[in-house]
Amino acid sequence: MSTPAIALVESDTDIARCFPVMAQLRPHLLEADFVARVRRMQREGFHLAFLAEDGAVRAVAGYRFQDKLFSGKNLYVDDLVTAATARSRGHGRTLLAWLIGQAQARGCDNFELDSGVQRHDAHRFYLRERMKIASYHFTLPLTR
């Protein structure tokens, strides 16, 4: 087994390699649109990182840097998922620690993410990693 390595996507091939893992968290995404969508989001400040081991993507994180009046400069995690077949092997913890390191390197005041109310296993993980539940997130769909 190789040592897991974390990298930012660089090529369209890297982005496409992340799709099967990302789709486990975001099943509504279409593989045919994924690369173009990530490229469009990158122009708006989105970053996509992945943890690979033995040539396979095991975990993926989408994130961006923001500055908010209520919380200051932060790294906001849009997406954080470990492949179902690779869970409980430390990949999520490794990627989370890497993300926190990115936030610290950029001088962020906070590290933030939202998690769907149904994701109980993820919530146990975040709480175990010393994260706090800080707010509710409300949405109002504007399209069908």
pLDDT at 19: 98
- What are the pLDDT tens digits along the chain (144 aa)? 778 899 999 999 999 999 999 999 999 999 999 999 999 999 999 999 999 999 999 999 999 999 999 889 999 999 999 999 998 899 999 999 999 999 999 999 999 998 887 888 888 888 888 989 888 888 888 987
How many Cα atoms are found within 13 Å in the side-chain-facing hemisphere of 50?
21
pLDDT at 127: 87
For 20-45, the pLDDT digits (tens) are: 999 999 999 999 999 999 999 999 99
pLDDT at 18: 98
Taking the model in full, what pTM does it have?
0.90
Which of helix, strand or coil describes residue 36?
helix
pLDDT at 103: 96
pLDDT at 120: 85
Sheet with 56-68: list strands edge to edge: 5-8, 47-53, 56-68, 72-82, 110-113
What domains does the chain contain, in order, with CATH numbers? Answer: 5-128 (3.40.630.30)
pLDDT at 137: 81
Q: Give the C-alpha separation, 38 to 44, whole Å.
A: 10
